[in-house]
Amino acid sequence: MESAASCCSTHLIDGDGTFNAAGLEKFMKEVKLSECGLSYAIVSIMGPQSSGKSTLLNHLFHTNFLEMDAFKGRSQTTKGIWMARCTGIEPCTVVMDLEGTDGRERGEDDTAFEKQSALFALAVSDIVLINMWCHDIGREHAANKPLLKTVFQVYHVYFFSSYIYSYTGLSKYSALIGRNGSRMLEYTSDDTLFSPRKTTLIFVIRDKTRTPLENLEPVLREDIQKQADWDSSKARVKLSHDIDSHIADVKTAKISDLTALYESKVKTTLYGPVEALLEGAADDTWHAIRKLLRNESETAVFEFSDALSGLEMEESAKKNLLSRLENYAVEVVEGKTKEEAAKVLNRMKERFTTIFNHDNDLMPRVWTGKEDIRAINKTARTSSLKLLSVLAAIRLEDYGDKIQGILLVALADPAQASDKNSNVQDPLATSKWEKIPADKTLITPVQCKSLWTQFQKETEYAVSQAISAQKANKQNNNWMPPPWAILALFVLGFNEFITLLRNPLYLILIFITFLLIKALWVQMDIASEFQHGVFHGFLSLSTKLIPTILNLIRKLSDAGQRQPPPH
């Protein structure tokens, strides 16, 4: 610490080229330079940036110049010119540390400061150390080439000064000689500040192979010692933990994928068939659904269990996953049943329309008057009521309920039910079904009664339309006059009837006319023509009457000609 304090390091010229006069005076007072007289020496060092100039001075002259730390990155450390006194060296020796040349901070083109600092060092120093890399010797683009060029050009001028000044007495100069003379004069004007005979140049060639090897040895020893003292148990525990964690993550992802896959399969195999069974609304609908659920669940659980067997799972976790899959299958059936129950009224109307307007072969009905509309209506309504009873509750277990029987008695034939149970309470006047849990009830008895009333109102129009169509068809097909008209004809036409009996010729003419009219009736199909309306019938017959009569006459004529002559 005492040697470092006695160095009295001073920033003589800063990076911008400003001379620190006050700092120089303070330095001279601290080192008592005035007491030394002429017995002192000045040593300076110059060279490329980051070549170890400050480090070399600190080791040779025990100074405390700031050194670069290569582990923190190579950058500019010394800016401008620093000076310090050497401790423990006599006579008094002052050392100057110059800014490195060819630095990135100033750039390759800004060489004015480098030349000026080099000339200043050559002017005031007794010894100039030029620090350079061994691999830069002889290189065209070496880092210290501009510096060496400046130094050697100065010495070149003074070594041949007698030759230069011998031409000062001439009266004429050629262009080339004049230009060279001007260049020499520039060097002369700067170099008259010092005497080159007092300056000694010392080249320090830095071979950087030994120092890195010396630094490498302790680093390698330290690393080898760390390897020898390394406790592998912690790393082994951490590795084992990481492997187990990765295996658990992969297993969890695989289980999640398998669960999603088999849930999708269960939903696909149950969703459509359950919907079809509910729409069919047969007497054994829920028995068929329970059988379907059991078969598909067993198949899916078996396949899922086989897929999980390769994952080395605990038996309890495996059973939990299989149980979740079974519960999911039940949820699919219940969810589909709830979905169908929400639109039960539309399903009932669709079922009624299908049965009422179509025969057993699903062909559209034509109301000709022979159909029993009352029986067809009862069959269609009973079928719709069965659909309501199927969707009234979820029965994945056999509860032994009587929902269908209650609805058929209370709604399908309410008159008969009221006669039998005149003193008994209405079975639908309640909010729950007997033997059915509340969480499995989808449509309560009260709601069933309300839905049935709305259903009857919305289907009455179809029944009335069928009755009207049947009556219209009967009227179109009935050509006989009413009985009162027949009686009136008999009373009013009694005289004409007696006349016909007295004159048989009239009977023959009437008979022939009847045959002719019957032939025209059959030939023109008058009954079918009037089915589309009276006006349409007369219009159609007016176009067919004359051609039909001519056709009958032609047939009679042909028949008379084909008759063989009597023998």
Which of 182, 217, 252 corresponds to the end of one domain? 217
Spell 223-239 as b/e; 16+ CB within 10 A means b: eeeeeeeeeeeeeeeee
Q: Per the domain annotation, does 543 fall within a domain?
A: yes
CB-based contact 102:141 (threshold 8 Å): no
Mean pLDDT of 340-357: 92
Quick check: helix, strand or coil at residue 392?
Answer: coil
Instruction: Of 99, 104, 92, 109, give the one whose Cα is nearest residue 28.
Output: 92
Q: Between residues 380 and 540, which one has the greater pLDDT?
A: 380
Which of 186, 217, 248 corresponds to the end of one domain? 217
For 184-262, list the strands marked E by DSSP: 200-206
Spell 209-218 as b/e; 16+ CB within 10 A means b: eeeeeeeeee
Same domain, 337 and 389: no
Mean pLDDT of 232-249: 85
Q: Between residues 89 and 270, which one has the greater pLDDT?
A: 270
Alpha-carbon span 260 to 288, nearest angstrom: 26
Q: Which two tokens stand for residue 259?
A: 């669960």
CB-based contact 181:175 (threshold 8 Å): no
Mean pLDDT of 121-150: 78
Same domain, 139 and 286: no
pLDDT at 539: 74
> Which percentage of the chain shows pLDDT scores above 90?
19
Q: Between residues 296 and 361, which one has the greater pLDDT?
A: 296
**Strand-pair partners of 82:** 11, 97
pLDDT at 292: 94
Q: Per the domain annotation, does 232 fall within a domain?
A: no
Q: Mean pLDDT highest for which of 371-375, 499-503, 515-519?
A: 371-375
Task: For residue 77, give Cα distances in angstroms to 12, 97, 108, 454.
Answer: 15, 11, 18, 98
Mean of all residue pLDDT scores within the chain: 78
Which of 476, 504, 526 corresponds to the end of one domain? 476
Helix (H) or strand (E) segment spanning residue 459: helix 445-477
pLDDT at 264: 92
pLDDT at 335: 93
Domain of residue 331, residue span: 239-342
pLDDT tens digits, 360-369: 888 888 887 7
Alpha-carbon span 288 to 273, nearest angstrom: 10
Answer yes or no: pTM beyond 0.75.
no
pLDDT tens digits, 170-203: 344 444 444 444 444 444 444 444 444 456 666 6
281, exposed or middle or buried, with CB in 10 Å at 0-12, 13-18, 19+? buried
Same domain, 69 and 132: yes
Alpha-carbon span 129 to 527, nearest angstrom: 139
Does 338 score more than 90 pLDDT?
yes
pLDDT tens digits, 48-89: 877 788 888 888 888 888 887 766 666 677 888 888 988 878
pLDDT at 323: 92
Task: For residue 11, give Cα distances in angstroms to 7, 129, 260, 264.
Answer: 12, 19, 77, 82
Q: Which two tokens stand for residue 542?
A: 């007016």
Alpha-carbon span 147 to 47, nearest angstrom: 7
Going by pLDDT thresholds of 50, 70 and 90, the confidence category of residue 212 is: low
Going by pLDDT thresholds of 50, 70 and 90, the confidence category of residue 257 is: very high
Backbone angles phi, psi at 83, to 5 degrees: -135, 150
pLDDT at 5: 52
Q: Per the domain annotation, does 226 fall within a domain?
A: no
Same domain, 11 and 51: yes
Does 546 score more than 90 pLDDT?
no
pLDDT tens digits, 216-237: 778 777 777 776 666 677 878 8
pLDDT tens digits, 12-25: 888 788 888 888 88
pLDDT tens digits, 453-507: 999 999 999 889 888 888 877 776 666 667 787 788 777 877 777 777 777 777 7
Domain tally for the chain?
A: 4
Whether the CA torsion 296, 302, 306, 311 is positive or negative: it is positive
Same domain, 187 and 65: yes
Task: Quickly count: other Cβ atoms within 10 Å of residue 69's Cβ.
Answer: 10
Does 259 score more than 60 pLDDT?
yes
Q: Which two tokens stand for residue 564?
A: 């063989």
Going by pLDDT thresholds of 50, 70 and 90, the confidence category of residue 164 is: very low
Same domain, 259 and 125: no
Same domain, 11 and 155: yes
Alpha-carbon span 265 to 296, nearest angstrom: 10
Quick check: helix, strand or coil at residue 62?
Answer: coil
Same domain, 206 and 80: yes
Q: Per the domain annotation, does 439 fall within a domain?
A: yes
Going by pLDDT thresholds of 50, 70 and 90, the confidence category of residue 119 is: confident
Alpha-carbon span 405 to 444, nearest angstrom: 15
Instruction: Of 345, 341, 445, give the one whose Cα is nearest residue 394.
Output: 341
Q: Between residues 544 and 349, which one has the greater pLDDT?
A: 349
